[in-house]
Structure 1
Amino acid sequence: MPKSGELNGQSDRRVALVTGGARGIGLEIVRRFLADGYRVAFVATKAEHVARALDLLGCPEDRLYAERIDVTRHNDVQGFVDHIRQRWGEIAILVNNAGISPKRVNQNAPWLSQTSLDEWARVIDVNLSGPFILIRLLAPAMIAKGYGRIINVGSLAGRAMPMIAGPHYAASKAGLVGLTRAAARDLAPHGITVNCIAPGRVLSDLTGPPEAEVNRSALSRIPVGRFGTAEELAHAVSFLASPMAGFITGATIDITGGEFAA
């Protein structure tokens, strides 16, 4: 059973931060948290995406706040976190969802030969260093409170042979699994859980229409015979963020419709 007080709706456990929260999976996670009664802050890299998401969600400012922030810029992230703390108090829930996945230009040439060092570094920075920066920033306050939930959004590409994503994306998401385990081991004694979800093919505005060739090919590998939805992932994140998930930590949960993951 959860410790005494973990289910009483304490306000200092009802503040969530979601990165990459303006579109796709991130937007649905924000929407789910709002429905669960949290105060939610989110960041995204484009101001127009932030504005559109805020308009779509239509939530009052005492429940929802967002800014355009690059998660790899430590000082900017620190400033955003400080602002949320002043506004609502300590952040109890962190969802590291922000990620990028550059596309291959030449489908007939090896992807490694098309990946520049700059592109490699940028993907690793956003997908892996960004989560590390935020965990490092938020963990001390979570430790002081004796409570916290950290959920990293990985990918099937980091768990099995990548069929669509590039080497930089696959490496960054595999690294995120390792970061999840390391952080879980460090933080478990302090009442903080750290978990990862590994989605398979989930349709969103980022993956394109179902009739696209890449999606038709992906569908043939999914045993349940359909694509996942962002709403399904958001519900999984919602559970991992809840007090009832207190005995789950260091786990990577495959949400793939049965598609193989090692």
Structure 2
Amino acid sequence: MTASLNGRSVAVTGGSKGIGRGIAEVFAKSGAKVAILARDGEQAAAAARAIGHGAFGISGDITSAQSLAAAFAEIARRNGGMDVLCANAGIFPPAPLEEMTEAQWDLVNNTNLKGTFLSVQAALPYLKKSSQGRIVLTSSITGPVTGYPGWAHYGATKAGQLGFMRTACLELAKYGITVNAVLPGNILTEGLAGMGEDYQKSMAAAVPLKRLGTVEDIGHAALYFASKEAGYVTGQTIIVDGGQILPESQDALA
């Protein structure tokens, strides 16, 4: 599977930190030519230098079609095209439903859902030319499967990504492009690490495997969807959560 990504051009949105950085590193170590796109170009470049393996960073705003067009054109120029889009960028600022403002709702929807649409649309001219065109979305268990207080807007966008995916894969099948999604559970990122050790332990206690996931866990799932071996898999989701969604109650974890 790893060999089939060797030399492939991969763009990872939101790749300067968290899950996106983990995805970028897994692909880079597998021999792919990785471009990390983030709004902050300096952060993207710093992440690329830390990852190595020829990765490079580029500035781009996923809420702007014009910005994405310019960024993807540069990625294609430097890497000789684009074979894989990992549409990972997203935000999750909490806001209780009763207090949520229209601006807060719009910000999350514009970034997570509209940003997915714009990223895919901007990548299509390049993916259509690839012999291994792949789109991998980073969704979540929150929204499609579970709920969490304060994340009504976030959950709506993550469920919305899957609705988008199921029609997109039908429209793009004629080009040989597949569209799939990874649904992470509790993953140890910089944000979660900042919540403290006690919080991490309480989160891990709710997972049957008794640990939080790593960003590399998500990266390996994305790598499978992008591989040549997954060429007959499209419109599908994979939950990477250590079994978190399975227990009916805390008693089941005893």
The CA deviation string for residues 97-144 of structure 1, in whole angstroms up to 9 with x for no partner, is 10000034xxxxxx1122111111111111111111121122243234
Runs of 4+ deviating beyond 6 Å: 7-10
Question: Counterparts of 2:110 and 2:197 in 1: how far apart (Å)?
Answer: 29
| Aligned AA (1:162) | G
The match for 2:14 among 13, 16, 20 is: 20
- Alpha-carbon distance change, 30 to 235 in structure 1, aligned in 2, over 3 angstroms: same
Task: Quote the residue 2:89 is aligned against.
Answer: 98
Match of 2:24 in 1: 30
Shift of 1:204: 1.0
Q: What is the match of residue 164 of structure 2? A: 179
Q: Tell me the equivalent position of 1:255.
A: 240
- Please tell me whether residue 72 in structure 1 is matched to residue 63 in structure 2: yes
Match of 2:40 among 46, 57, 77: 46
Aligned length: 245
Output the CA distance in 2 between the equivalents of 1:221 and 1:150: 31
Q: 2:75 aligns with which of 68, 79, 84?
A: 84
Alpha-carbon separation, structure 2, partners of 1:210 and 1:168 = 22
- Percent identity between matched residues is 32
> What are the ranges of 5 or more consecutive residues in structure 2 without an aligned counterpart?
247-254
Check if 1:112 corresponds to 2:112. Answer: no
Normalising by structure 1, we get a TM-score of 0.85
Moved more, 24-33 or 204-213: 204-213
Give the TM-score normalised by structure 2: 0.88
Q: Distance in 2 between matches of 1:213 and 1:162?
A: 22
Aligned with 1:224: secondary structure?
Answer: coil
Please list every run of 5 or more consecutive structure 1 residues that lacks an aligned counterpart in the other structure.
105-110
Whether 1:227 aligns to 2:221 is no
User: 1:124-139 counterparts in 2 under 5 A?
Assistant: 124-139=109-124
- Matched position secondary structure for 1:84: helix
Kindly report the root-mean-square deviation, in angstroms, between the aligned alpha carbons of the 2 structures.
2.3
- Residue of structure 2 in register with 1:108 after alignment: none
Change (3 A) 1:233 1:145: closer
Instruction: For 1:164 and 1:213, locate their aligned partners in 2 and report how far apart those are by CA, in whole Å.
Output: 20
